Amino acid sequence: MSPATAAKLGVEKNEVVRLEYQNRSLELPAHILPGHADNSVTVHLGYGRTHAGRVGNGAGANAYRLRTQDALGFGRGLKITKTGATHILAVTQDHHAIKAVGEKEKERRVPLLIREATLAHYREHPDFAKHAVHHPPLKALWKELEFEGRRWGMAIDLSKCTGCSACVIACQAENNIPVVGREQVIHGREMHWIRIDRYFRGDPAAPQIAFQPLPCQQCFNAPCEQVCPVAATMHTSEGLNDMVYNRCIGMRFCSQNCPYKVRRFNYFWFHPGLDDIGKMKFNPEVTVRSRGVMEKCTYCVQRIQRAKIHAKNERREIADGEIVPACAQACPAGAIVFGDLSDPQSQVSKLHSHNRSYAILEEYNTQPRTRYLAKLRNPGEDARG
């Protein structure tokens, strides 16, 4: 429900309310969402199943109890009553966010993380994204590494991203990322290697919403590498920031030093007692990690290696667009592009040099290989004529 409706009813987040409609009732916890229509509630179907196996059974409540033949999608006359009970929802939206201390700092920093403008403003100031942050020349504390050959990189167009989270699910399936369960999610221990940050701007009753996919930024000058005591995270010969799981001892210094908060610690062994059939659900090209190690996005290094082997066997160069990470393959809007930055004609190189291109927290001199294209909005007044 909307913040205004929740305030009128005196309902707090995670408070259980009773929904009554045509002599039927259902109790559900409330989730308050800016931008939701006032004086109405949304109830999602598909939960409360009893014959979906041990994973699906008992999850949520059966909303079909409120659904009638004359109101399959919408109905009037719903009554909402507070029950006094609470039920904590396992919501990941606010987990691992890039923090800003204080409201003033938050107001200053958020527009720098997700940069956007109207089409009219972009036409007048095409380089607005590049001039959002001004800093002195960046200096490294030590001599930076040098790499020759391929330089893999990624570009994400924020104007195309709809926040559907298809990339999150694809990454989880491709890279054998465990499903940790409701209890661990509540503790902030979800294992997703890519998250979708959501930002609201303006009036909570009708805010503007923007989404920003955030995988590992594959920093060239990676802060995580500088603090790892066992060199478990290090650069490959092609400049990828990879993990050597056999070295990792779970100190989590890398997670603390990552300004993007994209590293995940594996707290438990989530795959005990699997038989031969159970093992078939894993991707055989990706290691199944044990507990006690740090994990993160690898740009789907297994797909990179597969394409390199095929190209070598066929005695040819890797074609632009031949390597597609799982997140890019699943994105229905084509917002994610991957390729070789050493090739100036590659699509990702052209996007990196676009005037909407920018790197978040670039003032930290992390030199990320992932860059974003600022979001453009085209409200109605810009489209007339």
State how far the Cα of 39 lies from the Cα of 206, in Å rounded to an integer: 14
Confidence of residue 71 (pLDDT cuts 50, 70, 90): confident
Domains, in order of start, for the chain: 3-86 (no CATH), 103-383 (3.30.70.20)
d(Cα 371, Cα 157) in Å, to the nearest integer? 9
Q: What are the angstrom distances between the C-alpha of 123 and each of 127, 327, 378, 379, 382?
A: 9, 31, 11, 14, 11
Amino acid at 166: A
What φ, ψ does residue 245 adopt, rounded to 5°? -65, -30
H helix or E strand, kind and range, residue 108: helix 103-113
Please tell me whether residue 329 adopts helix, strand or coil conformation.
helix
Question: What whole-number distance in Å separates Cα of residue 270 and Cα of residue 22?
Answer: 44
Q: What is the DSSP letter of 198?
A: E
Contact 333, 375 (CB under 8 A): no
Question: pTM of the entire structure?
Answer: 0.91
Nearest to 8 by CA among 38, 37, 47: 38
CA–CA distances in Å: residue 282 to residues 110, 245, 248, 279, 293: 38, 17, 22, 6, 19
What is the Cα–Cα distance from 27 to 343, expressed in whole angstroms?
57
Q: Do 114 and 158 form a contact (C-beta atoms < 8 A)?
A: yes
If we measure between CA atoms, which residue out of 300, 189, 296, 192 comes closest to residue 245?
Answer: 296
Q: How far is CA 352 from the centre of its chain?
A: 20
- For residue 382, pLDDT over 60 is answered with no
Q: How many CA atoms lie within 13 A of 324 on its CB side?
A: 13
State what percent of residues in the chain have pLDDT above 70. 97
Per-residue pLDDT, averaged over 320-327, amounts to 96
Residue 213, CB-side half-sphere exposure with 13 Å CA sphere: 34
**pLDDT band per the 50, 70, 90 thresholds, residue 273:** confident
Q: How confident is the model at residue 213 (pLDDT cuts 50, 70, 90)?
A: very high
Residue tagged 């527009």 (tokens): 111
The Cα 151–Cα 237 span in angstroms is: 9
| Residue 103 confidence class, pLDDT cut points 50, 70, 90 | low
pLDDT-based confidence at residue 381 (cuts at 50, 70, 90): low
pLDDT digits (tens, 9 = 90+) for 343-367: 999 999 999 999 999 999 999 999 9
CB within 8 Å of 209: residues ≥ 6 apart: 35, 163, 198, 199, 200, 201
CA distance 312 to 109: 45
Residues 193 and 265: beta-carbon distance below 8 Å: no
Polymer length in residues for the chain: 385
State the DSSP code for 364: G
Q: Work out the number of other CB atoms within 10 angstroms of the CB of residue 251.
A: 15
- Evaluated on CA atoms 219, 221, 225, 227, the torsion sign reads negative
The C-alpha angle with vertex 16 and arms to 12 and 21, in degrees rounded to 5, equals 115
Could you tell me if 341 and 152 are in contact, meaning their C-beta atoms sit under 8 angstroms apart?
yes
Residues whose CB falls within 8 Å of the CB of residue 261, separated by 6 or more in sequence, listed in order: 96, 97, 98, 255
Contacting residues for 121 by C-beta, under 8 A, at least 6 apart: 128
Q: How far apart are alpha carbons 259 and 144 in whole angstroms?
A: 19
The Cα–Cα gap between 269 and 24 comes to 43
Share of the chain above pLDDT 90, in %: 70
The pLDDT of residue 33: 93
263-276 b/e (C-beta count within 10 Å ≥ 16 → b): bbbbeeebbeeeee
SS3 of 358, please?
Answer: strand
Whether the predicted pLDDT of 385 surpasses 70? no
Q: Dump pLDDT digits (tens) for 141-192.
A: 888 877 778 899 999 999 999 999 999 999 999 999 999 988 999 999 999 9
